[in-house]
Amino acid sequence: MDQLELAARLPRYRSRAARDAIAGALGYPNRWQERSLAAAGAERFEALLAEEVRDGIRPGLLFDARNALVAEMRRFARSALARRLRRLRPVQILARGAKARPFDALVRAPDGRSVAIVVRPMPTGEARLDIYRALRGAIERAGGSEALAALLLIDPLTGASQSMRLDEIARLQRGSTAA
């Protein structure tokens, strides 16, 4: 892989590493410390690059992207959302990773239903509506509003989050098809 192509793909690897670190920390309060979360993200980032890049990477590209990821993970670990996620106990985590697909995690809500957590960089405009449509289909396949109460969208690189009830997602989807 050429270095310019690799440089263009680094943000995707960073977001995937951040997503894996955040989903892996759910239910484990000690993994939410700044240093622990940043180290988990950096380790996952380097592992992803080792899997994908066979002919090496320029050290400057690697260290710049890795340091940006570590700074983002530290900032996320200090956020109010991270403090709330830290309070989740292992018994509240229903599934994470491959077992929770197409979501990143499923968490038990106080009313007994599940909350789906999706950790992805969130685009703006029409691309965001496409993500809402895909998530709505995934929610319906997972049992609809009887099984899932809400969806929590987390942008791992900015720390922004959006919590949506299922009826809000349906309203957004109807609004995008009516136009």
Q: What is the mean pLDDT of each run of 10 residues along the chain (179 residues)?
A: 78 89 88 91 90 78 89 91 88 86 84 83 78 76 69 83 72 61
Look at residue 139 in the predicted model and tell me its pLDDT. 74
Domains observed in the chain:
3-84 (no CATH), 89-178 (3.40.1350)
Tokens 């929590």 -> residue:
152
Q: Give ∠ CA 17-20-21 in degrees, rounded to 5.
A: 85
Give the per-residue pLDDT at 167.
64
Per the DSSP assignment, residues forming a β-bridge with 165 are 150
Tokens of 74: 């530290």
pLDDT at 172: 65
**According to the model, what pLDDT value does residue 68 have?**
92
**What pLDDT shows up at residue 70?**
93
User: What's the pLDDT at 143?
Assistant: 65
Dihedral of alpha carbons 93, 47, 154, 120, sign? negative
What is the pLDDT, as a whole number, of residue 115? 86
